[in-house]
Structure 1
């Protein structure tokens, strides 16, 4: 059962990564970033790696997304 969940999460992770790279809208890609980070956090927890999971949750899903949103709001595109 756990293998099926792990494989589904890996598939969603790859789909989200492709979506972030190939989308035309910058704000859509920035919104997909915390989704990617959340999936990665769940994968780290399944692999019993709480340290990288916490770091991924705080840095990638939190701070990086906030910085991207601030940058997009301050620029004209």
Structure 2
């Protein structure tokens, strides 16, 4: 595995861990999108460009759906 692939994989692990600990749903959705694009880049680096392209499309559509649902929700404070 090349050094660039290892770095992208570490960034993916970091995004996943921070998304799990996020208390704000919008932050979690943004990190989910970053994870999706990172995995698309990782697939492209591993010469699976078609899988990376599909991952980027699905990640974009899912992020847009999640964000539209979040804007439809009422935000309230936990205090």
Give the superposition deviation at 1:4: 1.1
Q: How many residues align?
A: 75
Could you tell me which runs of 5 or more consecutive residues in structure 2 were left unpaired when the two chains were aligned. Answer: none
- Match of 1:24, SS? coil
Task: State the 4+ residue runs in structure 1 displaced beyond 3 angstroms.
Answer: none
Cα distance in 1 for partners of 2:70, 2:50 equals 30
Aligned-residue RMSD, C-alpha: 1.1
- Match of 1:30, SS? helix
Bigger radius of gyration among the two = 2
Could you tell me which runs of 5 or more consecutive residues in structure 1 were left unpaired when the two chains were aligned. Answer: none
Please report the TM-score for the alignment, with normalisation by the length of structure 2: 0.88
Q: Which residue of 2 aligns with 1:56?
A: 55
Please report the TM-score for the alignment, with normalisation by the length of structure 1: 0.90
Q: Which residue of 2 aligns with 1:37?
A: 36
Cα distance in 1 for partners of 2:49, 2:2 equals 19
Q: Which residue of 2 aligns with 1:74?
A: 72
